[in-house]
Amino acid sequence: MHREDTPGTVGVPLFTVRPGTKGRIGRIGGKEELRRHLFDLGFTIGESLTVMHGSSGDLIVDIRGSRIAIDRSITSKIMISPEA
Amino acid sequence: MKTIALVGNPNSGKTTVFNKLTGSSQRVGNWPGVTIDRKEGRIKGMDSATLVDLPGIYSLSPYSPEEIVSRDYLLKERPDYILNIVDGSNLERNLYLTLQLMEVGVPVVIALNMMDIAKAKGYDIDSKALGAALGCRVVETTAAKGEGMEEIKKVLSTLSKSELPKPVRFDDGVEKVLDSISAKLRPDVPEEQRRWAAVKVFEKDASSSEYTDEDFSSEIEEVEKAHDDQSEAIIIDQRYNAICGIVSNVLKQPTTGKRKTASDRIDDIVTSRIWGFPVFFGIMALVYSIAMLEGSPGWFATDWLNTYIGDEFIPMVADWLAEIGVEGMLYGLIVDGILSGVGAVLGFLPQMLVMFLLLVLLEEVGYMSRVAFVMDRIFRRFGLSGKSFIPLLVGTGCGVPGVMASRTIENDRDRRITAMTTTFMPCAAKLPIVALIAGAIFGGNPLVALGCYFGGILAVLISGVILKKFKRFAGEPTPFIMELPPYHTPSAVSVGMATLQRGWGFVKKAFTIVLLATVLIWFLSSYTWGLQEAEIIDDSILASIGNAICGIFAPIGFGKWELSVATITGLMAKEDLVGTLGTIVGIEIETAEGDLWAWLNTIVTPIGAVGLLAFNMLCAPCFAAIGAMHRELGGWKATAFAVGYQCVFAYVCSLILVQFGGLLIRTDINVAYLIMAIVSAVVLAYFIIVKDPLAIVRKVAGKEGAQ
């Protein structure tokens, strides 16, 4: 629905943002299997998520009403465009 | 006979529903992956209906081994109905699986569970509208309080097999392709599965070749181009869009904005980079202190029970036996063999109960998944993932389910390493050993138990580093993704039940496997090879076996035949080590002064006790756990490698601890043993530090081959 297709607007890697940041998922990289698993968990393109806790890329995010812990190997593959 | 499959997200309360409907008491816990195996039970009060509890899953795509188990069961074994547990306090995520289940072609009943939490959050869910939107019957439940269970039974007994749900429609472009795929599916695909099959072919799923021989790539590509996305992602996206539509119609929620909940405030501390590990360490220290520290409730009760069994119960039974005329062999078997052996194990029951209670509390509150997240940061440095921590946690209760829990790890190599090393943790059966040594030798110091716990974790980490150097285990650690369920206050009944259940398991083992072993040990230690009654125990069969093998254990601090034999009997069940010593002391009591604790002090030094403890914590687990390892590793060769690795690793670690420890406190120095320890330490360090430790072996082998 809220897709941002043009390259360059996909935002910053998730591991660079601090707790409290809210943003929309722009792109998910990585292996096909992992991408599908993230999609299944609700990490779809355009969905908004909030970083709740964590540091250095090991984060706990709120997405679609639940808390998911993901480590740096994953947060470095998710691009988000932070909202003010 | 009707079969009903219980399907739902992890932590949706599936197992609680299962327990309530079938009257069984399967383990529940507040973390993803508590149920790893399929469990079956008969529904109470319903004619011939079997309920099958499947592992919690987020999706029917085969990402984790559990998802494969559930998907295969639903598609290949075809239950009559699906009972889908949906967490009412988290509709959006839970309905994603529901939408997939609706395509399987089996009637679906939805139990909208955790309604109490949903209501507490201010959610107003129109379950009638939800049922209408999905085309299936919806029952509101709060399984933890038993609410809605009768309604589920009522709905299940009136459901007909033709009541199929109506799968959600995708957009026109996708549906057009799905129609054209449907038309060309193999004729043997059953009518009710054609929707599922068409979607799988569209997603280019690996299973699509089972459903059709045609090629649809140009049609699929067209849709992919229109959406600028891959077909699979298009389906997922549209499912979530459909869910958003449904949820906005059926759910009224208060507009609170993003407030920090109580769970969040706790997580701010317990998951923080700085405080996460210290908090976990502190909690475990507290757990072991409450159970083991001298003067603590656990220690007090155990001390009392041990004294009661040794000074009152056994003499009482002995007097009674003498009174009714039991004497000789039978008297010896009952009093010296069984009562001393089983009694030695049962004496630790109070401490076990305190431990079980505290561990159950931690599990049900929801803290353990946070620890997995905290430990992930540490585990990753050793090439493992925090996912490996969950099996270790389960393994603290019992190694068998611990090894089985390795199934929750998606990556095959990490799964194998975890299955091989989980039994390093001090399981409940090893706790009597820990408690005996801590109590008899170290004055009940809780650091002994805490050392075993964190020593076990350290052993897993070091093994991770070593094993990752073998080609078959090499590779990046599994990515860590884990849902963290909100904390909740567990019900006293459920905690009490779970504690008693584990306590009962401990008692049952004492009266079966431990009892059998004590009979065997009594026989072997009362008779000579010529089957004559041994005048002193040193003439017995057991002593001669023990004396033959105890040389092996001398370098690691316990070269006494009694301790060597006890270590071997630990293979049957780890408690047997304590039971065996109890029996031996029961027979020796005339020659050795005092009880088991006092006797232990006479045959092992404190540093030797460290070796005894370390070796028994790390070496080959009991046969039951070896069996579980065989199932997870899938072959005797791999199992033999694992058990061999564990024994060698245990020996090396004990050797280093005992000899270097002895050097430190300047006692028991034996130059030959010390050299062994130094060599072992160098080899261990070599395996840990060098990138490819086996290269040198290959080089030598290659040269020899060339000659």
C-alpha torsion angle, residues A64, A68, A72, A77 (rounded to 10) = -30
Residues 6+ apart with CB under 8 A from A5: B228
Residue A18 forms part of a structural domain: yes
Residue A4 forms part of a structural domain: no
Q: How far are the Cα atoms of A75, B166, B431 from residue B424, in angstroms, in the given order? A: 32, 50, 13
3-state SS, B3-17, equals: EEEEEECCCCCHHHH
Using CB atoms, which residue from B380, B480, B486 is nearest to A69?
B480
pTM summary value: 0.86
CB contact under 8 A, A74 and B480: yes
Same domain, B435 and B494: yes
Using CB atoms, which residue from B59, B258, B479 is nearest to A73?
B479
Chain B residues touching A67 at Cβ < 8 A: 263, 267, 483-486
Mutate to test the interface with A, among B95, B237, B244, B368 (most CBs of A within 10 A): B237
Residues 6+ apart with CB under 8 A from B483: A41, A66, A67, A68, A69, B10, B11, B32, B369
Q: Which residue of A has its CA nearest to B481?
A: A70
B137-140 and B481-483 beta bridge pairing: unpaired
Residue A37 forms part of a structural domain: yes
Same domain, B75 and B222: no
Mutate to test the interface with B, among A64, A68, A78 (most CBs of B within 10 A): A64
Same domain, B214 and B130: no
C-alpha torsion angle, residues B284, B286, B290, B291 (rounded to 10) = 20
C-alpha torsion angle, residues B624, B628, B633, B635 (rounded to 10) = 60
Same domain, B201 and B289: no
Q: How far are the Cα atoms of B175, B455, B564 from residue B423, in angstroms, in the given order? A: 51, 12, 20
Residues 6+ apart with CB under 8 A from B693: B469, B686, B687
3-state class (DSSP) for residue A53: strand
Neighbours of B369 (CB within 10 A): 25
Residue B414 forms part of a structural domain: yes
Residue A31 forms part of a structural domain: yes
pLDDT digit string, tens, across residues B205-252: 888 888 988 889 999 999 999 998 889 999 999 999 999 999 999 999
What is the number of structural domains in chain B? 3
Chain B residues touching A33 at Cβ < 8 A: 63
Residues B249-273 as b/e (b if ≥16 CB within 10 A, e otherwise) read ebbeeeeeeeeeeebbebbeebbbe
Check residue B457 and give its pLDDT: 96
Same domain, B412 and B500: yes
CB contact under 8 A, A40 and B58: yes
Residue B107 forms part of a structural domain: yes
B35 close to B8: Cβ distance less than 8 angstroms: no
Q: Which residue of A has its CA nearest to B203?
A: A36
Q: Compute the nearest-CA separation of B674 from chain A (Å).
A: 43
Same domain, B525 and B381: yes
Check residue B704 and give its pLDDT: 65
User: What is the CATH classification number for the domain harbouring B145?
Assistant: 3.40.50.300
Same domain, B234 and B359: no
Mutate to test the interface with B, among A4, A10, A66, A78 (most CBs of B within 10 A): A66
Residue B293 forms part of a structural domain: yes
User: What is the CATH classification number for the domain harbouring B210?
Assistant: 1.10.287.1770
Rounded Cα distance between B67 and B75, Å, is: 12
Which parts of chain B have pLDDT scores under 50? 591-593
Residue B499 forms part of a structural domain: yes
What is the number of structural domains in chain A? 1
Residues on B contacting A at a C-beta cutoff of 8 Å = 58-59, 61, 63, 90-93, 96, 228-229, 232-233, 236-237, 240-241, 258, 263-264, 267-268, 271-273, 369, 372-373, 376-377, 380, 385-386, 476-477, 479-486
Q: Compute the nearest-CA separation of A8 from chain B (Å).
A: 16
Using CB atoms, which residue from B267, B268, B480 is nearest to A71?
B480
Same domain, B628 and B684: yes
Chain B residues touching A37 at Cβ < 8 A: 59, 61, 63, 481
Check residue B99 and give its pLDDT: 95
Token pair, residue B476, equals 């990046």
Radius of gyration of chain A measured on its C-alpha atoms = 11
Q: Compute the nearest-CA separation of A24 from chain B (Å).
A: 14
Residue B254 forms part of a structural domain: no
Residue A3 forms part of a structural domain: no
Check residue B31 and give its pLDDT: 59
CB contact under 8 A, B93 and A58: no
Using CB atoms, which residue from A34, A38, A66 is nearest to B483?
A66
CB contact under 8 A, B481 and A37: yes
Residue B121 forms part of a structural domain: yes
Same domain, B209 and B98: no
Q: Compute the nearest-CA separation of A30 from chain B (Å).
A: 11
Rounded Cα distance between B565 and B523, Å, is: 14
Rounded Cα distance between B431 and B506, Å, is: 11
Chain B residues touching A22 at Cβ < 8 A: 258
C-alpha torsion sign, points B317, B320, B326, B332:
positive
Q: Compute the nearest-CA separation of A60 from chain B (Å).
A: 8
Same domain, B208 and B73: no
Residue A2 forms part of a structural domain: no
Among B158, B189, B222, the domain boundary falls at B158
Token pair, residue A57, equals 């890329």
Question: Does residue A2 carry a pLDDT above 50?
Answer: no
Using CB atoms, which residue from A34, A54, A55 is nearest to B479?
A34
Residue A6 forms part of a structural domain: no
CB contact under 8 A, A73 and B476: yes
Check residue A7 and give its pLDDT: 46
CB contact under 8 A, B93 and A70: no
CB contact under 8 A, B258 and A71: no
Residue A39 forms part of a structural domain: yes
Among B158, B190, B216, the domain boundary falls at B158
User: What is the CATH classification number for the domain harbouring A35?
Assistant: 2.30.30.90
Transcribe B344-384 into DSSP letters.
HHHTTHHHHHHHHHHHHHHHHHT-HHHHHHHHHHHHHHTT-
3-state class (DSSP) for residue B50: strand
Same domain, B626 and B477: yes
Structural domain of A24 = 12-83
Check residue A84 and give its pLDDT: 60
Residues B185-207 as b/e (b if ≥16 CB within 10 A, e otherwise) read beeebeebbbbbbbbbbbbebee
Chain B residues touching A50 at Cβ < 8 A: 258
Chain B residues touching A14 at Cβ < 8 A: none
ipTM of this model?
0.89
Residue B168 forms part of a structural domain: no
Same domain, B537 and B636: yes
Check residue B36 and give its pLDDT: 64
> Which residue has 């003498």 as its token pair?
B322
Token pair, residue B276, equals 């996460």
Using CB atoms, which residue from B233, B380, B483 is nearest to A67?
B483
Residues 6+ apart with CB under 8 A from B181: B197, B198, B201, B202, B212, B214, B216
Check residue B408 and give its pLDDT: 81
Q: Compute the nearest-CA separation of A70 from chain B (Å).
A: 5
Residues 6+ apart with CB under 8 A from B641: none
CB contact under 8 A, A68 and B481: yes
Q: How many CA atoms lie within 13 A of B435 on its CB side?
A: 34
Rounded Cα distance between B113 and B149, Å, is: 10
Query: How big is the A-B interface in CB pairs under 8 Å?
Result: 113
Structural domain of B213 = 173-240
What average pLDDT does range A47-71 have in this prediction? 91
Residues B51-65 as b/e (b if ≥16 CB within 10 A, e otherwise) read bbbbbbbbbbbbbbb
